[in-house]
Amino acid sequence: MIEGTQRSLINIGAEVDIVEKHHQRSGELKRGHVAQILTSSSHHPHGIKVRLETGEVGRVKAITEE
């Protein structure tokens, strides 16, 4: 697994694990495919914010290696 703090490593359609805002304390992850990258900066220490194809929005904690 690759950390999701670098925008250049995340592509549309990539399978990722995200943590949604309301699950930050518990650290509960959701897995899905990236529909849109919402963070404009090249790096974010807590993870790049994305929207999944299912509509959930969260910060990427890991990029699954396919």
**CATH (domain of 41):** 2.30.30
Domain contains 17: yes
Phi-psi region of 35 (alpha: psi -120 to 50; beta: other; left: phi over 0): alpha
- How many separate domains does the chain show? 1
Q: Which domain holds residue 19?
A: 7-63
pLDDT in tens, 10-48: 999 999 999 999 999 999 999 999 999 999 999 999 999
> Considering the domain boundaries, does residue 1 fall inside one?
no
Residue 47 domain flag: yes
32 DSSP β-pair partners: 16
Residue 1 confidence (pLDDT): 79
Let me know if residue 2 belongs to a domain: no
Burial class (CB in 10 A: 0-12, 13-18, 19+), 12: exposed
pLDDT at 33: 97
pLDDT given for residue 66 in this prediction: 62
